[in-house]
Structure formats: C-alpha cells, structure tokens
A and B are shown apart, each in its own frame.
Chain A
C-alpha cells in the first residue's frame, strides 16, 4: 500500500472515530443522543407552530414558568425525575391558563399577562431553590444533565414525543386554521379554544420533557432555533416541520460531539449548534439576508 493511501485511511478512521466514537464507546453518550433526538422530534414541530403564531417568546416565558414546580418536586424527593417533571407540568399549565384567562376577561393582552405570571413564577422558583438545596442542584435544574439520562428519563422523553406527534396529527387542521385564519375558525367550529389549550399543553409538556436534558433555561432553544432556521428554507408547513426536526436532530448529534470533545455543557453545545444552523440559514438561504426579497416583483401582478 502506498503511504499516501495509508494516511488517507487513517484520517478516515480518525474522522469516523471523531464523529461516532463517543457514541460507540459510551452508553451515556448513546442515551444522550437518543434522548435529545427524541426531544427534537416532538419539540421542533411545536416550535414551528409557536413561531407561526408569533409566540416565539411565549415558549421562553413558559420555560421559566415551570421552575417553581420543578423546585417543589425537588423539595419532595430530591433530584428525582417524576416529581420534578409533574411539578413543572403543573406550574407551566397554571401560568399558561392564568395568563390566557386574564387576556380573555380583562383589557390586558396575553403577552403582558404572560410576562407578569412567568416572572412571578420564575422568582418563586429561584426563591424555593435558595431555601434548600445548593448551587449544584440549581445548576442541574437550570442547565440540565443530558449526559446523565437514565432509562426512566428516556421513557419520559419518548412518551412526550409520542404524545406530541399524535396530538399534532389529530388536531392539525384546527391548529393550522387557528394560526392562519382564527375568525374563520370561529365561524365554522367551536374547536378553536380546544385547539389552543391542547397546543399550550403540548408546549409545556415538551418543555418539561426537555428540562432534565437541556435545563429549564435552554430547553426552549431546541424548540425555537430549528424552527426559526427552517423558516428560511421551507415554503410549506409540512416541509417546515420536517426540516426543523432534521435540523434539531443533527444539532443534538453535533452538539453532543462538541460537548464531549471540548468538555462543554451539553445543553449549551446543542443549542449553540442549532444557533449556527440558524445563522447559516439566515446568511446562505435564498430567502435570507442576501437572497431575493420575496413579493416585490409580483406585487402589482394583478
């Protein structure tokens, strides 16, 4: 064999080792990959709908709102998954429902009421954690531990992703119409408020599913960034959801590698990679900053 070829083959093995080695060698890396990828499958389409409803920041608000519930769960049984997840779910739903109620029954708009309730909820969460627990616990809750996903966590994430996909499929028509033309939906059906509630539950469910892996601060990143990136490439809703999922899954894979090789927080690494996809889409997509501005030429066509 010629020496050049050996070098080439060696570098191939190195690349393969770099890209797949950690997942072949370590069970915790495999768990992290499966868990975060499953998370992306459910959370990314939910993020697409959040974005299309102009509620991108509502996801962020709700991700903070789950904190006191997680903290209470932590009070009851330490760093154990199910009580923390249940607490987070309840806290997130309370904040979502209360802000919706205030928006429907007073002059205040939903963004203001949501901001008010999530801030109170966030402060309550931090206060609870400061009462008991140390800063390491707080770090766990805020930043997640994707590298310590056990069987129970994987089952929970799998359940969240499954429920999300089934619910999206069932309520697809109503969810689409509620964003596209809410007045029309109101004239033809009473499904609007139901679809809205189901959707909010899905948002909170995916945030809770993600908090252990990504942390409450960053779980919304895997939800929104792939959706925002995909918007530059897709013209149709179905394609948008699929591209967002793909970007989410690849972000998890590359993010975990980066986290492993550079010894970075895994949640942060995943969200940073997703952010890279967003920036790249922004710059290189035909619909991005250097692309053709849509609509201009066709504006006066009829």
Chain B
C-alpha cells in the first residue's frame, strides 16, 4: 500500500524544472532517505509532498483522507525565533489540525504536550522562551511539535543539519519509534554513513532518480559516482549561462 504514488512527477520554479519525471512510491510505514548533491531537487520534492508546491507536470496521489495527515519539518525552519512565545506555546501549535482556529485546548492536550517534551528530552523547558534555546534544543522543540501532530506521514528536511551528535542520536531514536508505529517517513539528508546505518530505503536524486529502493542496493559506488558527475555537469552549465549573460552585455 502506497502512502504517496508519484507518476511522471516534474517539479520546479518559474518553469525551470528541479526534478524530472519521477516515478515510484513511498510505501506506508516505510522509512526513506532522500540523498543527492546540492540542487538535486530534494527539498523541492519534499515541499511538493507536503502540498506546498504544485507539480509542473505529473501527479502525486495519496489517499484522500490523508490530506491533513502530514507533518512537514522544513530545512532551517522558517520559525521566527525572536517571537515572544514559550517552548510550550510553539509545541502546542502541533494541535492545530485537531483543535482548529477556535476550539479550546483540553486537559489531555496539556498532558500530551508535557509527554512530547519529555520524549524529546526537554523536560523543564516548557516555559523557556524560544530565543533562549540552542540549535539542538530548538530542533528538539520542533520534533516535539511533530510528535503532537500525530501525522501518518512525516517529512523531514535536513533534520540534523544544525545539531550536535548527541541530539542527532536522540532524534534518530524518535524517528525509529515513529517507524515502529507504522508512520511513513521521508527525510532529506546528506550524510551517507548515517543513511546506511539508520534508513532502510533510499531515493538517490540528482534531478532525476538514480536509484530508489533498499539503501544497500541504491548507494552503490557507480550510482554515487554518477550523482557526482551529474552535479559537476550542472556546475559547468552554470558557468555557460554566466558566459552567455556576459556576452549579452557586449
């Protein structure tokens, strides 16, 4: 059973495609890493899965009642960390899907918030202001919100990019726990070793898929080499464009 099925999916901005002709599916309960060079379209793919970006062509299909069942944690989160709210206030926004605009929070919500903070190792942080948190503590706060969202599908964009190794280990445990609860998890990552150790499935993306399946079969030497070559080819293409522009000025 597929959580997401992608058919001939092409994504991009202003008509410039970032992801070409992607076919495949993220199975329900799967834990997939999306790996690839910079500019490969990894974050773009995640945005599209989250419903924030309309495909240029092709489709993303998923079960209809799952529409609101997605928790998306963007890269370098857009959260305004100077905003005067507490850790608890931010985590509580994870209840939005259930409580909506107007419904009051219940006693159970209170204990769910406390439990989520406990799960991410932030006991005693509830009343702290966002501006007092370290990068690692802030990422833990956002994970607590994802816990509270209780979504069937969880999309994580570079969740470990700004955190230390202890925090990474703790957050990986939470991800493993989510998988044991049969949630579908897709995470954009760049650390190949970490993916090999913790992620059963991998999508190797370099604008087009170079491999999608069991991590050991996807992360072969030849596939990784191809990814690097394609990346270098973009760099040259970028130089070409600059040269062109330069010529226009003459």
Contact = CB atoms under 8 A, between A and B. Distances in A.
B213 interface: no
Contacts of A237: 83-85
Given A170-B102, A234-B84, A184 B136 contact: no
A302 B134 contact: yes
Interface in A141-179: 170-171, 173-174, 176-177, 179
Interface stretch (A185-193, A199-207, A211-219, A272-280): A185-193
Contact of B79 (A180, A234, A240): A180
Contacts of A185: 96
A231 B83 CA distance: 10
Interface string B62-100: 000000101110100111100111100110010011001
B83 A184 contact: no
B132 interface: yes
Interface residues of A, number: 32
Interface residues of B, number: 34
A240 B84 contact: yes
Nearest to B163: A302
B200 interface: no
B50 interface: yes
A189 B134 contact: no
A294 B51 CA distance: 37
B85 A181 contact: no
Contact of B132 (A179, A182, A184, A294): A294
B131 interface: yes
Given A182-B78, A237-B85, A302 B164 contact: yes
CB-based closest 3 A-B pairs: A302-B134, A302-B136, A183-B78
Interface of B: 50-52, 68, 70-72, 74, 77-80, 83-86, 89-90, 93, 96-97, 100-102, 129, 131-132, 134-137, 149, 164, 167
Interface of A: 52, 170-171, 173-174, 176-177, 179-189, 191, 231, 234-237, 240, 294-295, 298-302
